[in-house]
Chains A and B, each alone.
Chain A
Amino acid sequence: MSDAAHADGGHHEYGFFRKYIWSTNHKVIGKQFLWSSIFFLFIAGLLALSLRWNLAHPGEPVPVIGKLLFGGEGFVKPEQFTMLTSMHGTIMIFFVIIPILVGAFGNFLIPLHVGTHDMAFPVLNAASYWVFWVGCILILIAGGVGFNDAYWAGWTAYAPLSTLGGPGMTFWLLAMICVGTSSILGAVNYITTIVKMRAPGLGWMRLPLTTWAQFITAILQLIATPVLAAALTMLTFERLGFNFFTPGGLFEGGDITKTTLSHSGGVVLLWQHTFWFYSHPAVYILVLPAMGMASDLLSVGARKPIFGYTAMVASIAAIAGLGFIVWAHHMFMSGMNPYLGMAFMVSTMLIALPSSIKVFNWLGTLWRGQIRFDVPTLNAISFVSMFVIGGLSGIFMAATPVDIHIHDTYFIVAHFHYVVFGGSLFAVFGAIFFWFPKMFGRMMNSTLGKLHWFLTFVFFNTTFFPMHITGLWGMTRRYSDYTNVPMSMDDMQSLNRMITYSAICLGTSQLVFLFNFAWSIWKGKPADANPWQANTLEWTVPSPAPEHNYHVVPTVHHGPYEYGVRDDKDWTPQTETGGGAPPAAGH
């Protein structure tokens, strides 16, 4: 990291350890989150490829990594398959997408965007990373303690299945408690920084949408995560002999468990309600920051102000608000009162509305622009186009009678991969490319970036679109082997193979990204302060951003999206006067 060369004068020099490892600087912590998430992205990707291999060729050894991962002949045994799906889901959600969107970009960008030198509570910020790191170690133990003891109850950890099982389950719970704590610490910090430390002139409606999205996401995390913490604590204690989730009169022992179910008086659905009360908002935690960043990338790429800035902010807030009253749509088939299902169906339909407003506003942003097809813009456009598919397929499962058929099938798997991979990850790839110069002082290679974007776009669709079809045909989510039972799935086998081969190509394509990323840190073209001709505050300081962000606290004169106003250049940095219309939208 070449920060060192640009370290500001006037501050005492730290040693290597204090500067790069045990740092309280928001940029270093942001990068630490970035390293960790990219590492876990590849771990969880390998898990996904292994389980996909088993679906295409059950009982056949996994090529290359089989013997290493699964021992013996190198094929995936059913118990390993369940571990693979569970770990893939958990790691991707809690150790890749949330930390990369919120941890990496939130940390790196918020102080720069609001024009301050660091987070409000730098030590708390470092603590949020190191608590997360403890969670990382614990989750690796949870998956690696030996396959029969490993965690395998699904990323949703439905009780009472999750009250059984080996020590891996306990490690999973402890890991979740750590990442939850990390989220809460981070959220407090983000909210305080954005509320209290904005530069002079930087009114609420002059904030970049990235920062707006981070702000609202932080509020979501602050309110929802404690509920998850309560659920996790209850489940941990249940495994120690307390009882919250297990009713009486059940069979004991059996081949799924080493412990017994000798409890009584618990309520099974309590776990689902508390879990989804966090985890549905968490779904929006997975996508709101991506929406914010994609908005910024699109505006810069199209050289045009965001269309309907106020509506964009309002719809982020609306998604967050409605996100708290839709959790039970994950439970339409759970046996909760079906009249309640109707109520949640209506609220779920409503939450599609702010998302559709955002899509139309993104289209409006591109309309009459001068679209520059650089890598960030390509990824941002892909984000919009894939998010549309993910959003529209959500309407099928929101309709309760249709959900009867597609609930817990691959249709659902396709839906959320379109949102979380097609949506969030494309935005992340764009954002990494976009802010890379500000992080490392160098540009990523554009040709490799475009190659990676193209391969990812193609293979993403060939991997996940066919899952809609297998799901409609009744292929349930968690079966490890369809070749014996049910026989009705035989027709799906060729499609399953195609999905697997595409997934392998998709996984391999990510090596292009990895290479480009690593190579560009050392060998990339040195970057100017403002390589994208963008307006927001971080582009007024040198690349990479100096340790103490701003020598002089910047004064903001207008909103962040004043593109195409002036005649001499088509951008107007927020620190310069001469912006066009007032930042408020629509008048």
Chain B
Amino acid sequence: MRSHILKWGPLFALLLAGGAGTALAQESAPWGLPPGHSTIAPKVDHLYNVILWITGVTFVGVEGLLLWFCIRYRRRPGGKPGYTHGNNTAEIIWTVSPALVLIFIAIYQFSTWKEAKIALPDVNNPNVVTIQTFAQTFQWNFRYAGTDKKFGTDDDLIANKRFWLPVGSTAYMPLRSVDVIHSFFLFQMRVKQDTVPGLVNHVWFEPTGFYVAKVDKSAAPYKFDFKVGWRPKDTKKKWEGEYKFEFVNTEKNGEKEFHDKYGSKVVAIDSSFLYQDGLMRPSTPDANSVVIQNNEIRAGVPWRDVDYVIVPYEGTCAELCGLSHFTMSFEMWVVPRKVYDYYMAKDDFYAENAEEKVLDFWKQWKDGPIRKLTP
């Protein structure tokens, strides 16, 4: 009953658990938050870190005390337990101090919440791109107002599964659903919002940049059968050499950042064909792609000439929406203005197999009711 193993059991177990976890996870899994690339992300992450510190200190304190008490006050022959029913002063202290901390956390987050969910962007601001969005099982649909800036007119552009956003702009997305509840989730933007049938919800965010992947010409193209990871500057991964992810921070200098570094390079702007089977590989070295070089768009460039690929952000559906829920993802392409304009100028844009009922739904959704938020 009083063997050392048992006395030290909890500590041993925790160490073992931590050690095993670390060792097994070492191979590739990153710890902590993934990099956040929107203007709201640093604020959310800051709040996360503040809470992590507060709870971390509490955790170490409480578990440490627990462990110490277990060792210090273990039963000893002839020992007599201290007899007490409590201590008012101590109890008042440990009631008031967590209360103060909790009230601090509560108040501290108001401004971030307000910015993320209450302060709607001004739709007349030229930097705000309104993208109407509706979810159906199991697809995301998007619509742009087109050149006349009005929805429900002939020059609207519709897309599904992916949408484009020019560098330096804020996306404002009214969200609807046409069957069950879905949830719009872009984890690197720190953005999530359910889409609810019968309601128009809203989400807005401003990306601070985008990823490009460097293509290593020394590897044979058809050996690119490694999956895409999201960690920038990942030097330990086995696919290093094939793709190296670089983040282009466009928050301060906008597109200049991109053109300074990649302007003269051949940068593929539509890597969708690479994602077949979830594997980032072209079917052949001659596969054609659309590229941007020296701020010019060129189509029909063979894969073997490509230096870099612009990589989209991946979004998912975070609410169970049916049996194929797990297939319901989408791509957000944050791209230079020229690329954005190129896609906006395409007649067919990017609506794979747009069904009649989807088109009908777009017809009856004009500007849509914009809910005014009131306290």
B193 CB, nearest partner CB in chain A, Å? 6
In the complex the two chains form, what is the Cα distance from A247 to B87 in whole Å?
57
Q: Which of A106-165 contact B (CB under 8 A)?
A: 152-154, 158, 160-161, 164
Chain B CB within 8 A of A38 CB: no
In the complex the two chains form, what is the Cα distance from A350 to B179 in whole Å?
36
B211 CB, nearest partner CB in chain A, Å? 11
Nearest B residue to A246 via CB reads: B197
Chain A CB within 8 A of B244 CB: no
Chain A CB within 8 A of B218 CB: no
In the complex the two chains form, what is the Cα distance from A478 to B326 in whole Å?
7
Chain B CB within 8 A of A389 CB: yes
Q: Does the CB pair B81–A349 fall under 8 Å?
A: no
Chain A CB within 8 A of B74 CB: yes
Q: Does the CB pair B323–A256 fall under 8 Å?
A: yes
In the complex the two chains form, what is the Cα distance from A490 to B234 in whole Å?
13
Q: Which of A392, A490, A581 contacts B85 (CB 8 A)?
A: A581
Q: Does the CB pair A388–B62 fall under 8 Å?
A: yes
Chain-A contact segment, one of B95-103, B247-255, B261-269: B95-103
Q: Which of B2, B51, B227 contacts A402 (CB 8 A)?
A: B51
Given contacts A342-B110, A384-B66, A392-B58, 19 further A-B contacts (CB under 8 A): A161-B320, A267-B198, A305-B83, A307-B86, A311-B95, A345-B109, A353-B99, A370-B74, A372-B75, A461-B13, A470-B29, A473-B33, A473-B187, A474-B187, A478-B325, A483-B278, A485-B329, A491-B230, A581-B85
Q: Does the CB pair B113–A363 fall under 8 Å?
A: no
| Residues of A contacting B198 in the complex (Cβ-Cβ under 8 angstroms) | 247-249, 266-268
Q: Which of B24, B63, B102 contacts A350 (CB 8 A)?
A: B102
Q: Does the CB pair B55–A393 fall under 8 Å?
A: yes
B326 CB, nearest partner CB in chain A, Å? 4
Q: Which of B47-61 contact A (CB under 8 A)?
A: 47-48, 51-52, 54-55, 58-59
Chain B CB within 8 A of A529 CB: no
Q: Which of A292-344 contact B (CB under 8 A)?
A: 302-311, 333-335, 337-339, 341-342
Chain A CB within 8 A of B351 CB: no
Q: Does the CB pair B326–A480 fall under 8 Å?
A: yes
Q: Does the CB pair B82–A363 fall under 8 Å?
A: no
| Residues of B contacting A404 in the complex (Cβ-Cβ under 8 angstroms) | 44, 116-117, 190-192
Q: Does the CB pair A408–B183 fall under 8 Å?
A: yes
6 contacts between A and B (CB under 8 A): A333-B183, A333-B192, A363-B62, A400-B109, A402-B44, A457-B9
Nearest B residue to A80 via CB reads: B323
In the complex the two chains form, what is the Cα distance from A479 to B43 in whole Å?
28
Q: Does the CB pair B48–A462 fall under 8 Å?
A: no
Nearest B residue to A399 via CB reads: B109
In the complex the two chains form, what is the Cα distance from A73 to B44 in whole Å?
45
Q: Knowing A392-B55, A486-B329, A498-B21, say if A385 contacts B86 (CB, 8 Å).
A: no
Q: Which of A359, A384, A478 contacts B320 (CB 8 A)?
A: A478
Q: Knowing A341-B113, A356-B98, A404-B116, say if A485 contacts B181 (CB, 8 Å).
A: no
| Residues of A contacting B51 in the complex (Cβ-Cβ under 8 angstroms) | 395-396, 399, 402
Chain A CB within 8 A of B6 CB: yes
In the complex the two chains form, what is the Cα distance from A446 to B227 in whole Å?
50
Which one of A261, A266, A407 has the highest number of Cβ atoms from chain B below 10 Å of its Cβ? A407
In the complex the two chains form, what is the Cα distance from A511 to B13 in whole Å?
20
Chain A CB within 8 A of B270 CB: no
Bitwise, B352-373 to A at CB < 8 A (1) or not (0) is 0000010001001000000001
Chain A CB within 8 A of B137 CB: yes
In the complex the two chains form, what is the Cα distance from A46 to B117 in whole Å?
40
Q: Does the CB pair B62–A408 fall under 8 Å?
A: no
Q: Does the CB pair B86–A586 fall under 8 Å?
A: yes
Chain A CB within 8 A of B304 CB: no
| Residues of A contacting B188 in the complex (Cβ-Cβ under 8 angstroms) | 474
| Residues of A contacting B69 in the complex (Cβ-Cβ under 8 angstroms) | 363, 366-367, 369, 371
Bitwise, B293-320 to A at CB < 8 A (1) or not (0) is 0000000000000000000001111111
Q: Which residues of A contact B (CB under 8 A)?
A: 78-79, 82, 152-154, 158, 160-161, 164, 246-251, 254-256, 261, 266-269, 302-311, 333-335, 337-339, 341-342, 345-346, 349-350, 352-353, 356-357, 359-361, 363-364, 366-374, 378, 381-382, 384-385, 388-389, 392-393, 395-396, 399-402, 404-405, 407-409, 446, 450, 454, 457-458, 461-462, 465-466, 469-470, 472-474, 476-488, 490-495, 498, 561, 563-565, 570, 580-581, 583-587
In the complex the two chains form, what is the Cα distance from A356 to B100 in whole Å?
12
Q: Knowing A161-B322, A461-B17, A472-B33, say if A401 contacts B73 (CB, 8 Å).
A: no
Bitwise, B9-39 to A at CB < 8 A (1) or not (0) is 1100110110011001101111111100000
| Residues of A contacting B194 in the complex (Cβ-Cβ under 8 angstroms) | 333-335
Chain A CB within 8 A of B105 CB: yes
Q: Does the CB pair B90–A465 fall under 8 Å?
A: no
| Residues of A contacting B1 in the complex (Cβ-Cβ under 8 angstroms) | 372-374, 446
Q: Knowing A302-B73, A472-B34, A474-B34, say if A309 contacts B181 (CB, 8 Å).
A: no
A-B residue pairs, 7 tightest by C-beta: A247-B198, A474-B187, A368-B82, A256-B322, A308-B86, A461-B17, A484-B278
Q: Does the CB pair B28–A304 fall under 8 Å?
A: no
Nearest B residue to A267 via CB reads: B198
Nearest A residue to B76 via CB reads: A370
| Residues of B contacting A255 in the complex (Cβ-Cβ under 8 angstroms) | 137, 322-324
Which one of B16, B85, B277 has the highest number of Cβ atoms from chain A below 10 Å of its Cβ? B85
Chain A CB within 8 A of B273 CB: no
Q: Does the CB pair A474–B316 fall under 8 Å?
A: yes
Q: Does the CB pair A450–B193 fall under 8 Å?
A: no
Q: Does the CB pair A349–B70 fall under 8 Å?
A: no
Q: Does the CB pair A311–B323 fall under 8 Å?
A: no
In the complex the two chains form, what is the Cα distance from A472 to B48 in whole Å?
10
In the complex the two chains form, what is the Cα distance from A461 to B14 in whole Å?
8
| Residues of B contacting A494 in the complex (Cβ-Cβ under 8 angstroms) | 24-25, 27-29
Q: Does the CB pair A334–B196 fall under 8 Å?
A: yes
In the complex the two chains form, what is the Cα distance from A372 to B27 in whole Å?
41
Chain A CB within 8 A of B159 CB: no
Q: Does the CB pair A490–B228 fall under 8 Å?
A: yes
In the complex the two chains form, what is the Cα distance from A361 to B191 in whole Å?
39
Q: Does the CB pair B314–A486 fall under 8 Å?
A: yes
| Residues of B contacting A79 in the complex (Cβ-Cβ under 8 angstroms) | 323
In the complex the two chains form, what is the Cα distance from A480 to B98 in whole Å?
39
Q: Does the CB pair B196–A370 fall under 8 Å?
A: no
Q: Does the CB pair A338–B324 fall under 8 Å?
A: no
Which one of B30, B102, B228 has the highest number of Cβ atoms from chain A below 10 Å of its Cβ? B102
Bitwise, B269-297 to A at CB < 8 A (1) or not (0) is 00000010110100000000000000000
| Residues of B contacting A269 in the complex (Cβ-Cβ under 8 angstroms) | 196, 199
Nearest B residue to A570 via CB reads: B81
| Residues of B contacting A382 in the complex (Cβ-Cβ under 8 angstroms) | 10
| Residues of A contacting B87 in the complex (Cβ-Cβ under 8 angstroms) | 307-308, 364, 586
In the complex the two chains form, what is the Cα distance from A370 to B70 in whole Å?
9
Q: Does the CB pair A486–B6 fall under 8 Å?
A: no
